[in-house]
Amino acid sequence: MQTTPSSFDTQVEAVRSGVDARAAAQTLAAEMTEAELLACLHGTVPFWPGRGRIMEHGYNFVPFEMSGVPRLGVPEISFIDGPRGAVVGPTTAFPVSMARGASWDPALEEEVGRAIGVEVRASGGNLFGGVCINLPRHPAWGRAQETYSDQPVLLGRMGAALVRGVKPNAMACVKHFALNSMENARFDVDVTCDETTMHEDFLPHFKEAIDAGAEAVMCAYNSVNGHWASESTELLTDILRTQWGFDGFVLSDFIWAIRDAAASLEAGMDLEAPFAQLRADRLPAEIREGRTSFDAVRRAVVHILTAQLRYYAERDRIEPSADLIAGPAHRALACKVAQHSMVLLRNEDVAGDPALPIDAGFDGRVAVLGKLADAVNLGDKGSSNVNPPSVVTVLDGIRSGLPQATVDAHDGSDLDRAAEVAAGADVTVVVVGYTAAEEGEWVNGRVYGRDDLMGLYPEPATDEDRRVYATMMQRLEVAKGKPEAGGDRRDLRLPSADVALIRAACAASPRTIVVVQSAGAVIIDDWADLPDAIVLMWYWPTTSTFRFSPEGTARTRSGPSAVPTDLAAAGDVGAQWIGSATRCSPLRNDWPRPSCR
């Protein structure tokens, strides 16, 4: 039985035939009722049921759906976050973006984008929200791991490459626009920036990613030069549209970015994400009051439809199989990226030969020390958190990669015992660094109860709404007094226990290799001359064996040197490396915050 194509499908075919996507979007928007137009400007799921789902299942366990019009066949925007991979279900976890930036390889990043785009589409998504290209103003920024570098050129090249890779299977969203590089104060800080600095340092990489085909831009939470980013006409209209010619859509960062429904729409904010929240609750009345208009509504809807029509007209015609998600090819790519991302910071001679590599046929004794050696440590637990179906820890990988060696492990909690294990080994590997507890997206649930942010939620209207509200408030009460997870790093040095373990191992072992897990710069001047080799591992999943073999080369700061093939350490740091605490001013993130309920 032949079915009549929907209005949306008809316009997709028109775009494929050469009709301008914006013109097709205007035709489609003209068919919508006022209620349908308004529904395009926010998420599909009402706020309180959506909040309940997050509390019950976690973040992005299914795509966030927004802005569909079933009567006309307009599909919803199905948002899946990143950038470590597709943040939904069990998918491939790639090394964090700061690690990938250390590869200095846009072609490889485009491969990553292609794999992520396939997994997003196969998981039911059509918008990938993981092209994070904020420039870290300070190396202690908690979300430094989500971006590539503190250099605009590298940010632009890598971000554009990720966009190109994703495009055949999903719309790409760049974020967070703009000047977002502080985690604990992101809901409060007003970033002041002169025009020259903004356009030379903080914006050019966004333009490069947009020119590569990004269809969406996510605004930041922070304020810029006195205006919330969601209400900044300068950013969202003057720069994005007038100067750069962007004709996709702008969506808000989630839940707390839009402070004023009408003001955001007038400034150029098209879509409130991810729920039916402030706009669904207040925008109809604000239109009646004259604070905004249906002309502004239609303009925003046309922006959203333009991007969707272009995407559906141009995307790959073949639907990717779900079997590709976290399949062998993508896991192998993740390992390849890791090899190209790790950085060999030091490699001294031991008995006439470099400390690294270690031959895969080595049959001596290896000590593996540190609480992180056998930990799953993929990065922060916020919106970039990816859950691969399996992860091989460093310890397991070493055991698999050196099958003839005797491998002894100790978590380092007893320094004397750890030193004994190191003393009995031919080689000692010490795994140190940070976890999501020390750095990452600030995910403290108490933010939901801030008085100013509570004012952005609609009143609970149903028994289910009230149940979710009560549960949320109970959780806020339980959270009082507990330590906060993630956020901006408080210290650029390693934890004191890690430094003590390094010192003990180096004093006891004839050959010591320190592996550092981190999102970025670590001040190592107090111990860097002690180990024979130092490898910056970043955060990444050792999804296969963690082998040491004799072939391969890597770039170090002083030039090429022999390193393992499977632990290739072929990267070069893509951001400034702070040599001493005296060369870096403290990160101020203590802006006054409103009280919590």
Residues annotated catalytic, as ranges: 253
CA-based nearest residue to 253, from 64, 476, 75, 126: 64
Cα–Cα distance, 140 to 520 (Å, whole number): 8
- Outline where 406-553 has alpha helix (H): 415-423, 451-454, 463-479, 496-508
Number of H helices and E strands in the chain, helices first, is 19, 19
CA 333 to chain centre: 18
Cβ density class 200-228: b for 16+ within 10 Å, e for less: ebbbbbbbbbbebbbbbbbbbbbbbeebb
First to last CA, the chain: 58
Name the residue with tokens 């099958």: 403
Answer whether the bond into residue 274 is a cis peptide, omega within 30°. yes
- Asked if residue 72 lies in contact with residue 28, where contact means CB atoms within 8 angstroms, the answer is yes
Exposed, middle or buried by CB within 10 Å (0-12, 13-18, 19+), for 597?
exposed
CA 238 vs CA 207, 263, 264, 395, 481: distances in Å: 13, 15, 14, 53, 44
CA 17 vs CA 20, 21, 30, 168, 305: distances in Å: 9, 10, 21, 18, 17
What does the DSSP 8-state code read for residue 570?
A: B
| Residue 229 token pair | 């980013």
CA-based nearest residue to 19, from 220, 313, 307, 303: 313
Q: Is 51 helix (H, G, I), strand (E, B) or coil?
A: helix
| Residue 389 token pair | 């179906």
What does the DSSP 8-state code read for residue 239?
A: I
CA-based nearest residue to 213, from 149, 151, 150, 168: 168
